[in-house]
């Protein structure tokens, strides 16, 4: 059964806006649920059929948003690597997810595509690749974004077990054009490209993906995926050093990188966080985010490529397009 009318929560966001664009390209009618007064730059000039203003934390708004649609892409979430008070993050990511899924269940929508994250999965053992079944294990770290996405993914899968057709997509670290805020990953590109980040790195690594490829994976999950399944949207497993070198390579900014011992890097992370608490500005990286990233989080994307038929572009193309976007907005 194809998609005829889709709701995208968070449709003006980084990932959601690309899902909206690609749905419209396929001739699918699209409704967007957006916060009142939310910036709409990402869909400027795009002819969205219906825009519903509301908040996923309010059940009545969720019920109003899902009416008459057959497919829901639930992308709305708070993504931040530093949250001195994570109350709102948990509220949006958990309560908001419950409200949207319960509204979808009552409305008898055909399918829901829930945006989780690789940080909702477990980090694999060193030297191994994780996959959709890797069990969450970061219980010793108070990393609110990771925990909130783990719990909200579990919630989505409870609805799947209860009979709602829910399919879960776990994107890697998302990069590319359209990063309005920008996200923590976008800030890293900005800081390295602009020469603001120190020429240093520490152990660890992550799985990265272009936002456009992540959006295509969501749509493929809706059309080719199966109820109750998870799909990893990740393309490039890069160490922290390799990622910084890729940014430098694309930007033509060659600087000799120095490896920080873990003890020194941990001290720097704590200093950044202390300064952030004093000033109220986000740190370059937070202590818990640093601790989470020390263990390489590399994942296997074969399920998405084989079952959904998705393909992924090169990391250099992704970074180049992100840099071009930031320059166009006057951020570089």
Confidence band, pLDDT 50/70/90 cuts, at residue 25 = very high
**163 backbone φψ class: left, alpha, beta (φ>0; ψ -120 to 50):** left
The tokens of 135 are what? 């069990």
Confidence band, pLDDT 50/70/90 cuts, at residue 48 = confident
Element containing residue 108 per DSSP (H, E): none
What is the rounded average pLDDT of the residues 277-282? 84
Q: Are 55 and 61 in contact (CB under 8 A)?
A: yes
Q: Are 230 and 265 in contact (CB under 8 A)?
A: no
What is the rounded average pLDDT of the residues 107-120? 97
Confidence band, pLDDT 50/70/90 cuts, at residue 289 = confident
- Residue 38 sits in a domain whose CATH number is 3.40.50.720
Query: Per-residue pLDDT for 197 more than 80?
Result: no
% of the chain with per-residue pLDDT over 70: 100
Tell whether 83 is covered by a domain: yes
Q: What size, in residues, is the chain?
A: 332
Confidence band, pLDDT 50/70/90 cuts, at residue 185 = confident
For residue range 132-149, what is the model confidence (pLDDT) as tens digits?
999 999 999 889 999 999
pLDDT reported for residue 287: 83
User: What is the CB neighbour count within 10 angstroms for residue 257?
Assistant: 15
What is the rounded average pLDDT of the residues 234-255? 92
Domain count of the chain?
1
Tell whether 160 is covered by a domain: yes
Tell whether 233 is covered by a domain: yes
Give the E-state strand segments of the chain in sequence order. Answer: 5-9, 29-34, 50-53, 71-74, 111-115, 166-171, 173-175, 200-201, 205-210, 230-233, 236-239, 258-259
pLDDT reported for residue 181: 85
Higher pLDDT residue, 279 or 312? 312
**Of the listed ranges 163-172, 259-268, 307-316, the one predicted with least confidence:** 259-268
Tell whether 112 is covered by a domain: yes
pLDDT reported for residue 158: 97
Tell whether 117 is covered by a domain: yes
For residue range 257-274, what is the model confidence (pLDDT) as tens digits?
889 898 998 898 888 888
Tell whether 252 is covered by a domain: no
What is the rounded average pLDDT of the residues 42-69? 92
Q: What is the CA radius of gyration of the chain?
A: 19
What is the rounded average pLDDT of the residues 103-107? 98
pLDDT reported for residue 1: 58
The DSSP code for 124 is P
Residues 6+ apart with CB under 8 A from 278: none
What is the residue-averaged pLDDT of the chain? 93
Residue 100: give the domain boundaries: 5-176+208-237+298-313
What is the rounded average pLDDT of the residues 277-304? 87
Query: Per-residue pLDDT for 198 more than 80?
Result: no
pLDDT reported for residue 28: 95
What is the rounded average pLDDT of the residues 110-116? 98
The tokens of 139 are what? 């219980």
Tell whether 290 is covered by a domain: no
Closest alpha carbon to 119 in 87, 86, 157, 145: 145
pLDDT reported for residue 23: 97
Tell whether 323 is covered by a domain: no
Ramachandran angles phi, psi of 130, nearest 5°: -80, 165
DSSP 143-202: -HHHHHHHHHHHHHHHHHHTT--EEEEEE-EEESTT--S--HHHHHHHHHHTT-S-SEE-
Confidence band, pLDDT 50/70/90 cuts, at residue 187 = confident
For residue range 11-24, what is the model confidence (pLDDT) as tens digits?
999 999 999 999 99
Element containing residue 245 per DSSP (H, E): helix 240-251
CA distance 164 to 153: 14
């Amino acid at each position: 059964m194809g998609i005829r009318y889709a709701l995208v929560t968070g449709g003006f966001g980084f990932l959601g806006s690309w899902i909206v664009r690609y749905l419209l390209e396929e001739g699918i009618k699209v409704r967007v649920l957006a916060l009142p007064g939310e910036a709409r730059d990402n869909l400027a000039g795009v002819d969205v059929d219906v825009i519903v203003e509301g908040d996923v934390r309010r059940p009545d708004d969720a019920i109003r948003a899902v009416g008459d649609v057959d497919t829901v892409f639930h992308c709305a979430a708070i993504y931040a690597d530093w949250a001195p008070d994570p109350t709102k993050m948990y509220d949006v990511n958990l309560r908001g997810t419950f409200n949207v899924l319960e509204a979808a269940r009552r409305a008898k929508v055909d399918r829901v595509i829930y945006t989780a994250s690789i940080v909702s999965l477990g980090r694999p053992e060193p030297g191994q690749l994780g996959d959709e079944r890797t069990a969450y294990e970061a219980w010793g770290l108070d990393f609110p974004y990771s925990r909130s996405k783990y719990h909200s993914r579990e919630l989505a899968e409870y609805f799947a077990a209860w009979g709602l057709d829910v399919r879960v997509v776990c994107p890697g670290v998302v990069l590319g054009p359209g990063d309005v805020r920008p996200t923590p990953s976008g800030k890293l590109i900005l800081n390295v490209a602009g020469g603001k980040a120190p020429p240093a790195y520490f152990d660890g690594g992550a799985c990265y993906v272009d936002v456009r490829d992540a959006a295509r994976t969501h749509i493929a999950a809706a059309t080719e995926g199966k109820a109750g399944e998870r799909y990893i949207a990740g393309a490039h497993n890069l160490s922290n050093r390799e990622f910084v070198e890729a940014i430098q390579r694309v930007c033509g900014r060659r600087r000799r990188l120095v490896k920080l011992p873990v003890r020194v890097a941990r001290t720097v992370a704590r200093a950044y966080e202390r300064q952030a608490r004093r000033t109220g500005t986000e740190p370059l990286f937070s202590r818990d985010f640093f601790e989470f990233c020390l263990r390489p989080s590399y994942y296997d994307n074969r399920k998405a490529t084989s079952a959904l038929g998705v393909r992924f572009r090169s990391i250099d193309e992704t970074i180049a397009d992100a840099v071009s976007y930031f320059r166009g907005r006057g951020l570089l």
